[in-house]
Amino acid sequence: MSNSLQYLIRRLGFYSIAAWAALTLNFFIPRLMPGDPAAIIFARFRGKLTPEAMIALRETFGLTDGPLLLQYFSYIKSMFKGDLGVSIAYFPEPVANIISTGLLWTIFLAGTSLVISFIIGTLLGAIISWKRGGRLDSFLPPSLAFIGAFPYFWLAMLSLYIFGFKLEWFPLRHAYSDDVTVGLNIPFIFSSIYHAILPATTMILVSLGGWMLSMRNTMLTTLGSDYITLARAKGLSSWVVMLKYAARNAILPNFTGFGMALGFVLSGALLTEIIFSYPGQGYLLLQAVRSQDFPLMQGLFMTITLAVLAANWFVDIAILFLDPRTRK
């Protein structure tokens, strides 16, 4: 047990370094760019801020006249307090408030589609590897690779056009309809699921192929092992050998990939949200870009990075339970 604890602490150390790197990038990127960051940011605030508010905002970003090191510490301090500054696009709302309202929608939409795509993709990978060279195996990988070649958001545009605009099966925008009250009531839950179907389906379709292919490849190696031959010789049914013996072992690399893929899938999810005007982080990102809202952009980068790091750590914990070799 002490070994696994050590492992988890080591991973936590790595994620802290990654978080610190993200924080530091966030601090230095504006300062390394051509032009004076303070002038660029505050030009966008002109006429909106009182002089006192301006000074407070400068403190938050460490954009004071003090030496760089002091600026850096003042910035780190405000980040630890959860103070991400004030948004330009949604003035005078603090960035932290804006982000927290959108975060739940992104976790709901991207999280569900990621999990569904992982489960279906892994299962398909196990099935097609079982009958290698069979009809499914020669049809599914190339067709899913072709779908995966489309940008997420383009496929979202197309499905919105066909199923939302032409056929009118699904709503065109937003995460729930206007006539339900937000809260834990049946109409609201149904409405949000109904609004999530189309964006989720496009995300699942694009990311399915990757899970399937990597599962297929590890399955092929696993299927050559002696214990599989033994399981077959015992006369166990194909499904039992495939799922309980082979897939159980082959799934581990896919799980490790889950953490890695998170950031990538999330990037696609953000663009998909924009197409569906889904009120999550992606939609905020677009607003931030459109109005050059630097505080909001940097706040989004920080929260999304921290979310990905946290999710990666949970994957590490999950692997500890799934793979006895890491627990030695």
Partner 1 sequence: MNKNSILKRWGRGIIKNKKASFGLYFVSSLIGLSIFGPLFTLDPTAFLGAPLSPPSLEHFFGTNGQGQDVLSQTIAGARQTLLVAFTTGFFVVIIGAFIGGAAGYYGGKVDDFLSLIINVFLVMPGLPLMVILASWLPPGPLTLAGVLILTGWAWNARVIRSQMMSLKGRDFVLAAIISGESNSRIIFVEIMPRILSLLASSFIGASVYAIGAQVGLEFLGLGDVSTVSWGTNLYWASNDLALLTGSWWTFVPTGLSIALISFSLTLINFGIDEVTNPRLISEKNWKKELPDNTLNNGVTPVVRKNV
Site for partner 1 in 252-271 (CB under 8 A): 259-260, 262-264, 266-268, 270-271
For partner 1, the closer of residues 200 and 275 by Cβ is 275
Question: Near partner 1 by CB under 8 A, which window of 65-73, 119-127, 196-204, 215-223?
Answer: 215-223
72 contributes a contact to partner 1 by CB under 8 A: no
227 contributes a contact to partner 1 by CB under 8 A: no
Is the separation of the CB atoms in 105 and 175 below 8 Å? yes
Residue selected from 39, 149, 167, 186 as contacting partner 1 according to rule CB under 8 A: 149
Q: Total residues at the site for partner 1 (CB under 8 A)?
A: 71
Name the minimum Å distance from CB 279 to partner 1. Answer: 17
Number of neighbouring beta carbons within 10 Å of residue 123: 16
For partner 1, the closer of residues 118 and 130 by Cβ is 130
242 contributes a contact to partner 1 by CB under 8 A: no
Name the minimum Å distance from CB 236 to partner 1. Answer: 14
For partner 1, the closer of residues 61 and 294 by Cβ is 294
User: CA 168, CA 182: separation in Å to the nearest integer?
Assistant: 24
For partner 1, the closer of residues 109 and 297 by Cβ is 297
240 contributes a contact to partner 1 by CB under 8 A: no
Residue selected from 42, 278, 298, 319 as contacting partner 1 according to rule CB under 8 A: 298
Residue selected from 6, 97, 138, 229 as contacting partner 1 according to rule CB under 8 A: 229
Question: What is the token pair recorded at 121?
Answer: 């993709």
3-state class (DSSP) for residue 237: coil
For partner 1, the closer of residues 76 and 147 by Cβ is 147
User: CA 313, CA 8: separation in Å to the nearest integer?
Assistant: 8
User: CA 54, CA 77: separation in Å to the nearest integer?
Assistant: 18
Contacts with 1 (C-beta within 8 Å, 6 or more apart), sequence order: 327
Q: Lay out the site mask for partner 1 across 91-130 (x = CB under 8 A, - = otherwise).
A: --------------------------------------x-
Name the minimum Å distance from CB 19 to partner 1. Answer: 9
Question: Near partner 1 by CB under 8 A, which window of 47-55, 93-101, 194-202, 295-303?
Answer: 295-303
Q: Is 154 exposed, middle or buried (0-12, 13-18, 19+ CB in 10 A)?
A: middle
User: CA 15, CA 312: separation in Å to the nearest integer?
Assistant: 9
List the interface residues with partner 1, window 156-185 (CB under 8 A): 157-158, 160-161, 164-166, 172
List the interface residues with partner 1, window 185-214 (CB under 8 A): none
244 contributes a contact to partner 1 by CB under 8 A: no
Residue labelled with tokens 């992606």: 282
CA Rg value for the chain: 24
222 contributes a contact to partner 1 by CB under 8 A: yes
HSE, side-chain direction, 13 A CA sphere, residue 307: 19
Angle between the N-to-C axes of helices 95-130 and 248-275, in degrees from 0 to 180, rounded to the nearest 10? 140
- In order, the DSSP letters of 82-110 are T---B-STTTTSBHHHHHHHHHHHHHHHH
Q: Which of 307, 304, 298, 305 is nearest to 84 (CA)?
A: 298
For partner 1, the closer of residues 86 and 308 by Cβ is 308
